[in-house]
A and B are shown apart, each in its own frame.
Chain A
């Protein structure tokens, strides 16, 4: 922070007006953040507080809540369904994140530089992002329908399979089908983030490396990759936290099937809260999931921090 040191002597020279001005600037600043702060308080802090409060109760969907302290949390430790769901969510997060960021990076490299028709491709890649998750899932559910959809009849017509194959009936194909849907739908979003990073790399660096005789893959590895680290970290965190909260696609396309093998953590929370009507327990699960997400995000931030920031 070099500018504070340069300000300090000035503050000593003329203390009074400076301080007053700074104090009023503080108030002014507070005024500016007030709307945002109010939003955060009303729509995040208060609901969060209520969730924690609810998690300490036996809170049925209908009827009177009863204080039970930490019982929900101790029950949660032995809830194998929740831990299985969390395990599946991690598996999905790994697959989706690898797929999303890989595809997004390739797309970003393809459309980064201005060229003929590039605007068209950018729009085309981004287009699926603006469909809602629910509508995309419904579309996919129909495409995957073995009797009236597209994939299975298509595979049969072009001779890949001799009989109709219900891809939603076994875990592997069902899981990958949903993951591919998510990559199709979300890659454009991450492409934009990474593209902005790529475009901010000064052309001189690449030019200089080229003059020094660096090959294309070397330029990518030693110049491009390190310099897109920040946007990459942003994309990674958005991607991981988004995938850890996956629900719609598995609910709509698979209903958690086949045989409950695709019930994600949020899906489990939904079931506890709104199918079994145990809102208090659902709240406790949500608090734990939030804690896990916080830890994950902190780890990612640390791993991807620039060296300069560690000081």
Chain B
């Protein structure tokens, strides 16, 4: 509160004394997943000199807590790039400003990502605008494909092909593995494992998130697919206890043949590991088809923010061709459909694959998403960990059954 009043006073003083045109600033938070594109976007925006965005990057696992504490203490940022999953919960808790009017004033509002807009709308009013987009995709290491005598330009399109290719690569040597996933990370697995289920016709929720369907045959088949690869020894032992720390790094290391990941990885790999030769494919269903988790951030404004002027200017910049191009070049996907082609121009085919993934992507909706899915002690993470690494079938049955029960009881308790 104090700092806000103080900075407000300083701005007043500055404008009053100098009599210069409006050089307003606003504070902006982004989760660490956005640390590739956001600083570049903010830098370009600030360079225009009209307004100033003050960016703070917050570790992804602490963003909600940190924001809630800051809001309670009156020091919430003016605006926030928020994991779209949380938009309904934040809006329901009265933390966000109704920005319906601001949205109405944008001429291209109908071209903004519908998946983002649907979770950004609460009670008929708009609280969140699409900001960044991240779709889950499958990565494969072309060098290892070559070494194993596989076609490096042809990524797997069914589960059987993933298994086959992964086995061929694992056979290359002791330090080379076919497949990698973070086996103890709920957030990673909802992002990369559920699309395998969706693409095969199944789901983990039914009735708009009111029913858990963890015990369905499609989920079981997908579990058996992962478990089969674990038992075949083509997954590094560390996968079992990876809580997400190696989600990106394992593949970047260069000794993993295939790994499900996200479009964010394309920007990060190109910037940090320019020598890694890899391909991007859609996450396939059992017999083909494709799906993806349509994730990313919604741009939201804190309830107490008074001055929308600089924020509106920032959004307009982000939605401009220049802004969308910066996003597309740094690991996000464009969120404005009518300029997407322009923004993606000149980028390699891998970005186009993830743009395509976004169009076949889904976003699960649940008000208790954190409890069910993201918590490393929640039923989703625990069940999958037990089932993927189970020694025998009975353990899988038991894990799935218990997970189903616990998920349903959490959903029911939330009403």
- Interface residue ranges, A against B (CB under 8 Å): 60-64, 145-148, 152, 164-166, 168-169, 254-260, 263, 271, 274-277
Contact = CB atoms under 8 A, between A and B. Distances in A.
Nearest to A167: B241
Given A263-B377, A271-B375, A271-B377, A257 B94 contact: no
Contact of A145 (B93, B238, B389): B238
Interface in B92-115: 92-95
B339 to A, nearest CB: 34
B385 interface: yes
A147 B377 contact: no
Contact of A255 (B92, B243, B371): B243
- Smallest CB-CB A-B distances: 7 pairs: A62-B93, A63-B93, A147-B238, A168-B241, A61-B68, A255-B376, A146-B237
A166 B238 CA distance: 7
Interface in B64-97: 64-65, 68, 71, 89-90, 92-95
Given A62-B71, A277-B370, A148 B238 contact: yes
Contacts of B378: 275
B240 interface: yes
Nearest to A278: B371
Given A63-B93, A259-B386, A276 B370 contact: yes
By size class, the interface of chain B is 20 to 34
Contacts, number: 73
A145 B389 CA distance: 17
B236 interface: yes
B184 interface: yes
A interface: dominant SS: loop
Contacts of A260: 377, 382
Given A169-B389, A255-B377, A61 B241 contact: no
Interface in B219-247: 236-238, 240-241, 243
B243 A275 contact: no
Nearest to B89: A62
Contacts of B241: 146, 166, 168-169, 254, 257-258
Contact of B376 (A64, A146, A169, A256): A256
Contacts of B370: 275-277
28 contacts: A62-B68, A62-B71, A62-B90, A62-B94, A62-B95, A63-B92, A63-B93, A63-B95, A64-B94, A145-B238, A146-B238, A147-B236, A147-B237, A164-B237, A166-B237, A166-B240, A166-B241, A169-B389, A257-B241, A259-B382, A259-B386, A260-B377, A271-B377, A275-B375, A275-B377, A276-B370, A276-B375, A277-B370
A294 to B, nearest CB: 27
Given A63-B95, A146-B241, A166-B240, 19 more contacts: A60-B93, A61-B64, A62-B90, A145-B238, A146-B236, A147-B236, A148-B238, A166-B238, A169-B389, A255-B184, A256-B377, A257-B376, A258-B385, A259-B382, A274-B65, A275-B370, A275-B377, A276-B370, A277-B64
Interface in B334-379: 370-371, 374-378
Contacts of A166: 237-238, 240-241
A205 to B, nearest CB: 52
B175 to A, nearest CB: 9
B371 A275 contact: yes
Question: Which of B243, B370, B377, B389 lies at the interface centre, i.e. has the most chain A CB atoms within 10 A of its CB?
Answer: B377
